[in-house]
């Protein structure tokens, strides 16, 4: 097991107070439990986990739970795993992708969130209708661009997945704020970064995000897929890998999923956002981006009461924002308690029951419930 964890860097304040979100929301916490006031933080966490696992189907897939407050580790639990094991973080991959968009904007490689797909993807002019070409990057970031929900069988079997996604694009309230979470949209973000930086998503992530945060990416597994249908055949080598990120036929890493990281790596990313983009004395991503990305920019009126930022779900009243993935993986940042929580689960495709472990919302709710058992700094 790892002997150390990231400590919260210097606190930076002021930027978030200057930005207002669009809509209020609340997350339904999966469950809760009353614990004696004299219980230690570890006992509180263990009892809360036991309470959740008594009622939630799929709990045996949970492999790690880590909670950090004020930069100090307050809870760490591994089940049939160690701190050094890596896991497919599923939809939490989107947070890495969106962070890289912010860094590219900071570096002047992308004009800003108002830049259009026509500007950002000139090589795909032939696949863009005038309407699709006019879609701003901000709409892709907030899942309001009307892009396909999935990289489906047709797009995933095409010689060029990006061209196929753009060709499949249908009109679904593209700028009206209706959130439709889109794996395909996150992959378009990956293509935008690749075009803007001249590097693969993974190369840029190593240089601009992983290395500054001290995330070790050696050894690394990266393989191009000819088709989405190739993924099951790659599972044995992918599961044996440490850090891994498959790519499409053009070498564009999958922007929506299949990134393998350690639980502590996710914790570092959460701490980065908690400190408004700073890691120690290094400003990895600008505070403006870190705050805007985790602000309530659009309402998710069709799929719940939370709001959405740049690939982050946002519960603004409680100053909580989070990322979540199928199978029960979640990264939660709670500003009011100066805390970050990570829940990582193992997705087992050969599960005889056909389950995928905890649902995304349950994993995020579990992490929020655990954080809420921490002391409230405001009293």
Which carries the bigger pLDDT value, residue 251 or residue 47? 251
Rg (CA), the chain: 20
| pLDDT of 200 | 94
pLDDT digits (tens, 9 = 90+) for 27-57: 223 333 333 445 566 676 677 666 555 444 4
Same domain, 130 and 191: yes
CATH number of the CATH domain containing 321: 3.40.710
Q: Give percent of the chain with pLDDT exceeding 70.
A: 76
- pLDDT tens digits, residue range 127-146? 999 999 999 999 999 999 98
Residues 196 and 71 in one domain: no
How many domains are there within the chain? 2
Quick one: average pLDDT of 294-320? 82
pLDDT at 167 over 60: yes
Cβ atoms < 10 Å from Cβ of 55 = 10
Higher per-residue pLDDT: 43 or 278? 278
Domain match, 100 and 208 both = yes
| pLDDT, position 130 | 92
329 and 370 housed in the same domain: yes
Which pLDDT score is estimated for 303? Answer: 54
Residues 105 and 75 in one domain: no
Per-residue pLDDT at 49: 65
Indicate the range of 4-8, 96-100, 370-374 predicted with least confidence: 4-8
**193 and 156 share a domain?**
yes
The verdict on 109 and 243 lying in the same domain is: yes
Checking if the pLDDT of 259 tops 50, the result is yes
> Which pLDDT score is estimated for 2?
40
* Domain finish residue from 206, 229, 261: 261
Mean pLDDT of 302-326: 83
Residues 250, 112 within the same domain = yes
Residue 103: predicted pLDDT: 98
**Domain shared by 152 and 235, yes or no:** yes
Average pLDDT, the chain: 82
Q: What pLDDT does residue 357 have?
A: 54
C-alpha torsion angle, residues 194, 199, 203, 204 (rounded to 10): -60
Whether residue 179 is found in the same domain as residue 311: no
Distance, CA of 183 to CA of 90 (rounded, Å): 11
211, 229, 261 - which closes a domain: 261
pLDDT band at 319 (very low <50, low <70, confident <90, very high): confident
Any bridge partners for residue 341, and if so which? 67, 332
Other Cβ atoms closer than 10 A to 103: 23
Range of the domain at 25: 1-85+264-274+283-379
Residues 235 and 289 in one domain: no
Instruction: Point out which residues pair with 278 in neighbouring strands.
Output: 283
- Map residue 378 onto helix, strand or coil: coil
38 is written with which tokens? 């004299």
Residue range 113-119: average pLDDT? Answer: 98
> How many whole angstroms separate alpha carbon 233 and alpha carbon 235?
6
User: What local confidence, expressed as pLDDT, does residue 91 receive?
Assistant: 93
Confidence of residue 367 (pLDDT cuts 50, 70, 90): confident
Identify which has the larger pLDDT, 59 or 206.
206
Per DSSP, which regions of 79-181 are E strands?
87-88
Tell me the CATH number at 209: 3.40.710.10
Q: Tokens for 14?
A: 């002021």
- In this prediction, residues 97-102 reach a mean pLDDT of 98
Band the pLDDT of 1: cuts 50, 70, 90: very low
How confident is the model over 331-339, as a mean pLDDT? 94
Give the model's pLDDT for residue 254. Answer: 96
Q: pLDDT confidence of 19, banded at 50, 70, 90? A: very low
Mean pLDDT across the stretch 1-23?
41
| Average pLDDT of the residues in 313-329 | 86
pLDDT > 70? residue 16? no
Cα distance between residue 201 and residue 183, in whole Å: 16
Residues 65 and 96 in one domain: no
Higher pLDDT, 189 or 379: 189
More confident residue, 193 or 220: 193
What does DSSP say about strands 320-325 and 329-334: parallel, antiparallel, or unpaired? antiparallel
**Percent of the residues in the chain that have a pLDDT greater than 90, as a whole number:** 52
Task: Please give the pLDDT value at position 359.
Answer: 63
**Residue 317, pLDDT above cutoff 70:** yes
pLDDT tens for each residue of 215-242: 999 888 888 998 988 887 787 888 888 8
Mean pLDDT, residues 188-216 taken together: 97
């Amino acid at each position: 097991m790892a002997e150390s964890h990231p400590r919260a860097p210097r606190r930076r304040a002021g930027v978030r107070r200057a930005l207002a979100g669009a809509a209020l929301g609340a997350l339904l916490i999966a469950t809760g439990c009353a614990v004696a006031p004299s219980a230690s933080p570890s006992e509180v966490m263990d009892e809360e986990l036991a309470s959740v696992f008594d009622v939630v189907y799929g709990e045996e897939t949970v492999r790690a739970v880590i909670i950090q407050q004020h930069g100090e580790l307050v809870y760490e639990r591994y089940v049939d795993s160690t701190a050094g094991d890596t896991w497919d973080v599923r939809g939490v991959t989107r947070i890495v992708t969106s962070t890289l968009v912010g860094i590219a904007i900071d570096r002047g490689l992308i004009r800003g969130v108002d830049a259009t797909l026509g500007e950002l993807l000139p090589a795909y002019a032939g696949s863009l209708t005038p309407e699709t070409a006019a879609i701003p990057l901000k709409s892709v970031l907030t899942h309001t661009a009307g892009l396909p929900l999935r990289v489906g069988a047709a797009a995933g079997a095409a010689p060029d997945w990006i061209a196929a996604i753009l060709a499949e694009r249908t009109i679904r309230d593209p700028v009206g704020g209706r959130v439709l979470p889109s794996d395909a949209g996150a992959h378009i973000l990956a293509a935008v970064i690749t075009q803007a930086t001249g590097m693969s998503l993974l190369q840029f992530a190593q240089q601009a995000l992983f290395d500054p945060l001290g995330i070790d990416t050696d050894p690394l597994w990266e393989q191009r897929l000819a088709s989405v249908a190739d993924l099951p055949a790659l599972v044995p080598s992918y599961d044996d890998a440490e850090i891994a990120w498959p790519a499409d036929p053009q070498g564009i890493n999958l922007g929506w999923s299949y990134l393998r990281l350690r639980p502590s790596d996710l914790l570092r990313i959460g701490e980065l956002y908690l400190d408004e983009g700073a890691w120690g004395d290094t400003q990895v991503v600008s505070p403006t981006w870190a705050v805007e990305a985790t602000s309530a920019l659009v309402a998710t009126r069709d799929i719940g009461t939370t709001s959405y930022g740049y690939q982050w779900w946002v519960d603004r009243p409680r100053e909580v924002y989070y990322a979540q993935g199928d199978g029960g993986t979640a990264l939660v940042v709670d500003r009011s308690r100066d805390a970050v929580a990570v829940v990582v689960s193992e997705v087992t495709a050969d599960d005889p029951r056909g389950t995928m472990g905890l649902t995304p919302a349950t994993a995020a709710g579990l992490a929020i419930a655990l954080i809420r058992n921490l002391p409230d700094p405001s009293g």
